[in-house]
Amino acid sequence: MAKKKETPVKRALKPEDVNAYIAGAGTMIDQPITQTLETNFMPYAMSIIVSRAIPEIDGFKPSHRKLLYTMYTMGLLSGPRIKSANIAGQTMQLNPHGDQAIYDTMVRLSRGYQALLHPYVDSKGNFGKAYSRDMQCAASRYTEAKLEPIAAELFRDIDKDTVDFVDNYDATKKEPKLFPVTFPSILVNANTGIAVGMASSICPFNLKEICETTIAYLYDENINVADTLTGPDFPLGGQLLYNREELEKIYATGKGGFKVRGKYTYDKSANCIDITEIPPTTTVEAIIEKIIDLCKAKKITEINDVRDETGLQGLKITIDLKRGADPDKLMLKLFKLTTLQDTFSCNFNILIAGVPRVMGIREILEEWTAFRIECVKRRIYFTLSKAKDKLHILKGLEKILLDIDKAIRIVRETEEEKDVVPNLMIGFSIDQTQAEYVAEIKLRHLNREYILKRTDEIEKLTAQIKELETTLASKAKIKNVIIAELKEIIKKYGQPRKTEIIDAKAEPEADFQPEIPDYPVTLFFTHDGYFKKITPQSLRMSGEHKLKDGDSIVQTVETTNTAHLLFFTDRCQVYKTRAFEFDDTKASVLGDYVPASLSFDKDEMPVFMAVTKDYSGYMLFVFENGKIAKVDMQAYSTKTNRKKLLAAFSEKFPLAKAMQISEDCEVLLYASNGRKLLVHTGAIAAKTTKNTQGVNCMSLKKGHRVTDAVVFSEDLLSSPHRYRTKTLPAAGKLPSAEEAGEQLTL
């Protein structure tokens, strides 16, 4: 009987078995962090810099170039628009990043999006708006696109070996490394990108001005660029605050910032301001939200309403004014306090031969000129080679003219087809290329008229070749070719500036003092941190105060709406504000909760409210250990109007009472042992250091502390002289029997 074959038992591999199969698995190797970064991070960083975020000298990033070249090969320079989804799908043969990323790139290049001074994509449908955060583009299946006429200048003579072509990601197609652009597109349309460790931000310039500046540079490399290039020109218009010194600095270094502000008109009949142009760095929604915040904070009081009226006519923000408001003064405030005036930061970082370089305008023109000269040279050489090849063929055809019958006889008498070309070569002393051309001539063309017309081209080709060779050998003539092309572009695509230039030095400064109505108010502050501001009229008509259970009013101050308020807290901090920043209220409401209104730290509570108009007088801080600190109120006045000050008083000792006095007076201290002491504040030196520890005023035995302090008035004590002292510190006195009896009676 045959023995059964045993099946091997399977078991899970243990870690030691795995290590046996994988060499070095589980081995810890010490590696310097610099080596890790160099081998792991640097290739990624360089890929982002070179292949994604930084534009090259033709003005495009790889994603732009792949999209536009696909549209060019699809024949979208002419003819009707086609669905954007179709274009995105075709582009994926060159760009494998997904159709949504490709479509987003198309949107930014489109006319409808309004992000470019000279858009390259002619769009139909909802492509969103660059100036709006909320106006998003429609899906690619709903929109249509083709190339704008100016895009022809990107591809001119691209089929004449003007630029190098490389394989796409799977080596199934060819794509250009650069576009042979006929104008400095790198400076005509805005281009921004964030790479790893570096970024690029190139502002747009007017096409006509850029071309004229390039022409001037080609004539004289030592020109002052600022003479012809007056400043950037943004697609949304606006006003450029012109500063010649800053302009020349940016042109020289490639770094800096241009200040751009919105443009507005005032409608007197409707008493409203219409803003129709804004800086390129902001959005309609951001401006409106900021204006609303300023109105809520009462930093701007001249506005009744603000709304977005953007429609088919374009961008429009409408601001309704209050009666008597000055629109020009208001706009100066808005320019200062909102992004209606913003800075476009420039960083002219461009890839040159695969290396990022931050360059000024002159250097960029130098690099672009060198690139364009090379493109023109390659085009001329390509045309010259084609002309020479054609001339060579026609010279062979010219020899046939001498004896057409002989050519026919050679062909007829040749027995095998493969011998036709060699026999023609021998019979007319021509080379193989010429013989191949003659052998392919149709029978109907074997007449003298056809051959004479072809040979007439010999003279024209000879002259053309001579001219091309002369141009190729002369740098000046190549420059003249570029200049002629630039002049043609100015004529075809030049347009007036959209951004108005105004003198920055001539602009008036805005007065940012808020127009605050000043009227009498009564302020109430409670133990639990609630605050009320009530007008006298409202107070007369009010009943009892509404308070939380267990809460009580600890301070009542009569002042005006413009008074400064200082809220001292149990964390030795002070929060500053103004009375007008709180709404007028009634006694029948709880009021504003100060820790929430002024954004106190977590669990921080106010202990005292100081009210002042000119920061005169003093703050007294009475500590439980008997010390009193006297701080000049000017110590809390700051030029920068800071809202929060640290170290408002000393934190070394527990605070018994904080007090505000306008001038020196007597203060009555109460101790836990029943003693009282009258201290004149004139005996205490005032300090400007807020967290001073103070002067020892009341001597206390161990276990006792100061419990309270009040400004002295004659009705508080029947014999005040008993509690006064000539020297400090003093222990104070216990109440006399008479005073104790009075207190019992009370």
CATH number of 161's domain:
3.90.199.10
Query: Alpha-carbon distance 692 to 703, whole Å?
Result: 24
- Dump pLDDT digits (tens) for 167-176: 999 999 999 9
Among 180, 211, 235, where does a domain finish?
Answer: 180
Q: Judge if 547 and 661 occupy the same domain.
A: yes
Q: Judge if 468 and 613 occupy the same domain.
A: no
Among 154, 180, 206, where does a domain finish?
Answer: 180
CATH number of 381's domain:
1.10.268.10
Mean pLDDT over all residues of the chain? 89
Q: Judge if 609 and 467 occupy the same domain.
A: no
Q: Judge if 608 and 710 occupy the same domain.
A: yes
Query: Alpha-carbon distance 53 to 119, whole Å?
Result: 19
pLDDT at 4: 47
* 645-656: average pLDDT: 92
Say what percent of the chain tops pLDDT 70: 94
Per the structure, the complete domain to which residue 617 belongs is given by 520-745
**Catalytic: which of 44, 142, 169, 519?**
142
CATH number of 578's domain:
2.120.10.90
At how many degrees (to 10) do helices 475-493 and 361-401 cross?
110
For residue 11, pLDDT over 70 is answered with no
* 376-399: average pLDDT: 92
Query: Alpha-carbon distance 235 to 169, whole Å?
Result: 35
Residue 19: band (very low, low, confident or very high) from pLDDT cuts 50, 70, 90: low
Phi, psi of 423 (to 5 degrees): -65, -35
pLDDT at 384: 95
Domain-located, residue 66? yes
Q: Judge if 483 and 524 occupy the same domain.
A: no
Measuring CA to CA, how many Å separate 131 from each of 65, 235, 278, 284? 25, 10, 8, 6
Residue 744: band (very low, low, confident or very high) from pLDDT cuts 50, 70, 90: very low
Say what percent of the chain tops pLDDT 90: 68
Phi, psi of 514 (to 5 degrees): -65, 140
Least confident of 44-48, 189-193, 612-616, 628-632: 44-48
* 136-158: average pLDDT: 96
Q: Which helix (H) or strand (E) holds 645?
A: strand 644-645
For residue 316, pLDDT over 60 is answered with yes
- Dump pLDDT digits (tens) for 588-604: 899 999 999 999 999 99
Torsion of CA 76, 138, 192, 374, to 10 degrees: 0
Q: Is 142 annotated in the active site? A: yes
* 510-519: average pLDDT: 67
- Dump pLDDT digits (tens) for 609-635: 999 999 999 999 999 999 999 999 999
pLDDT at 743: 47
For residue 328, pLDDT over 50 is answered with yes
CA nearest 250: which of 303, 322, 201?
201
* 568-580: average pLDDT: 93
Q: Judge if 629 and 741 occupy the same domain.
A: yes
Domain-located, residue 257? no
- Dump pLDDT digits (tens) for 666-721: 999 999 998 999 999 988 999 989 999 999 999 998 889 999 999 998 888 888 88
Amino acid of residue 216: A
For residue 223, pLDDT over 60 is answered with yes
* 466-485: average pLDDT: 95
Whether the predicted model's global pTM rises above the 0.75 cut: no
Residue 388, token pair as written in the block: 């020479």
pLDDT at 44: 81
Instruction: State how many domains the chain has.
Output: 4
pLDDT at 464: 93
The answer to whether residues 316 and 275 touch, using CB atoms and an 8 Å cutoff, is: yes
- Dump pLDDT digits (tens) for 241-252: 999 999 999 999
For residue 485, pLDDT over 60 is answered with yes
- Dump pLDDT digits (tens) for 95-145: 988 899 999 999 999 999 999 999 999 999 999 999 999 999 999 999 999
Query: Alpha-carbon distance 74 to 593, whole Å?
Result: 67
Strand partners, 165: 176
Torsion of CA 534, 538, 541, 546, to 10 degrees: -30
Residue 304: band (very low, low, confident or very high) from pLDDT cuts 50, 70, 90: very high
pLDDT at 745: 42
For residue 451, pLDDT over 90 is answered with no
pLDDT at 31: 80
Q: Judge if 730 and 592 occupy the same domain.
A: yes
Residue 2: band (very low, low, confident or very high) from pLDDT cuts 50, 70, 90: very low
